[in-house]
């Protein structure tokens, strides 16, 4: 009997499917996986799009972005017309998203960050056009962990928050959290290295602590509202105090005040 091929031996597990019909596919993207291959990460040859093409035999259209390090809900269209309609819904602000994030420090119980952002986060902001950007957030849990990052303090404070971007700029949540002084843990670009390393060592998990927990969008068939949740994974559940697996766990009105 011939030995199994390298491809078969190392084929990744199928992506968890959260919703599937004839027009769209919604998957739970793991952290560390590209949505599609890009010249900015040329050494990576694996992506959501490539995996789904192998699984389904057709190449889907991603209709929004998730950073490589971000986990959670990702929507892909299965035909060009569905991709066009969903893209238009995103552009028109007709899609709502919610994220879980682990941040440095203890922010206010809730807040609204209204801070314009440069178009390209990979380049210096000076000279770039600034685009309006708004993010709302609410604290779900506060942590005081028993390790020192700053010699002046015997412990370190962090918070689990829900973030709702009202606009869709690149790295919006990451840049907005940096702007208010509560950067995302695990963010090598906009975060703080000493905190990233300390949390990774204490929890035994090195990742970008951002999870796309929910998306609500109009279905391309008839515009009916479709809501899809991605339960937080094992790393979130193992946080001291725990995180529920049954989705974001916050009522519709919790982040609509103000």
Structure tokens at 146: 């028993």
Q: Does residue 247 have a pLDDT over 60?
A: no
**How many domains does the chain contain in total?**
1
Percent of the chain with pLDDT over 70: 87
Handedness of CA 68, 206, 196, 138 (dihedral sign): positive
Residue 5 has a pLDDT of: 46
- The answer as to whether 44 is a domain residue is yes
The overall average pLDDT reported for the chain is 88
- The answer as to whether 116 is a domain residue is yes
CATH number for 229: 3.30.2350.10
Q: Does residue 77 have a pLDDT over 80?
A: yes
- The answer as to whether 6 is a domain residue is no
- The answer as to whether 251 is a domain residue is no
Domain with 218, as residue range(s), is 12-237
Active site residues: 67
**Which long-range contacts does 193-198 make (Cβ < 8 Å, 24+ apart)?**
194/149, 195/104, 195/149, 195/156, 198/147, 198/149, 198/156
Distance CA 196, CA 188 (A): 8
- The answer as to whether 130 is a domain residue is yes
Q: Does residue 128 have a pLDDT over 60?
A: yes
Q: Does residue 59 have a pLDDT over 80?
A: yes
- The answer as to whether 196 is a domain residue is yes
Residue 123 has a pLDDT of: 73
- The answer as to whether 141 is a domain residue is yes
Q: Give the model's confidence band at 125: pLDDT under 50 very low, under 70 low, under 90 confident, else very high.
A: confident
- The answer as to whether 120 is a domain residue is yes
Residue 248 has a pLDDT of: 40
CB atoms within 10 A of CB 240: 12
| pLDDT higher at 201 or 5 | 201
Q: Stretch 13-29: mean pLDDT, rounded?
A: 95
Q: Stretch 122-140: mean pLDDT, rounded?
A: 87
Q: Stretch 121-128: mean pLDDT, rounded?
A: 73
Q: Does residue 184 have a pLDDT over 60?
A: yes
């Amino acid at each position: 009997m011939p030995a199994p091929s390298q491809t078969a031996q190392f084929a990744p597990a199928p992506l968890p499917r959260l919703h599937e019909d004839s027009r769209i596919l919604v998957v739970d993207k793991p952290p560390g996986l590209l949505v599609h291959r890009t010249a900015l990460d040329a050494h990576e040859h694996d992506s959501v799009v490539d995996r789904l093409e192998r699984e389904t035999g057709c190449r889907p259209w991603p209709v929004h972005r998730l950073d490589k390090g971000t986990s959670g809900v990702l929507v892909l269209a299965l035909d060009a017309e569905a991709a066009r309609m969903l893209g238009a819904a995103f552009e028109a602000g007709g899609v709502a998203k919610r994220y879980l994030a682990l941040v440095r420090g203890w922010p206010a119980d809730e807040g609204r960050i209204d801070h314009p952002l440069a178009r390209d986060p990979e380049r210096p902001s000076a000279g770039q056009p600034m685009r309006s950007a708004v993010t709302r957030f609410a604290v779900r849990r506060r942590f005081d962990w028993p390790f020192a990052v700053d010699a002046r303090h015997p412990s370190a404070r962090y918070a689990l928050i829900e973030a709702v971007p009202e606009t869709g700029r690149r790295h919006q949540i990451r840049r907005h959290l940096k702007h208010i002084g509560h950067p995302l843990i695990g963010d090598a670009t906009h975060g703080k290295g000493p905190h990233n390393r300390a949390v990774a060592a204490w929890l035994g998990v090195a990742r970008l602590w951002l999870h796309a927990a929910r998306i609500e969008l109009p279905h391309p068939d008839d515009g009916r509202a479709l809501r899809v949740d991605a339960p937080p994974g094992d790393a979130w559940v193992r946080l001291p105090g725990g995180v529920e697996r049954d989705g974001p766990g916050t009522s519709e009105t919790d982040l609509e005040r103000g």
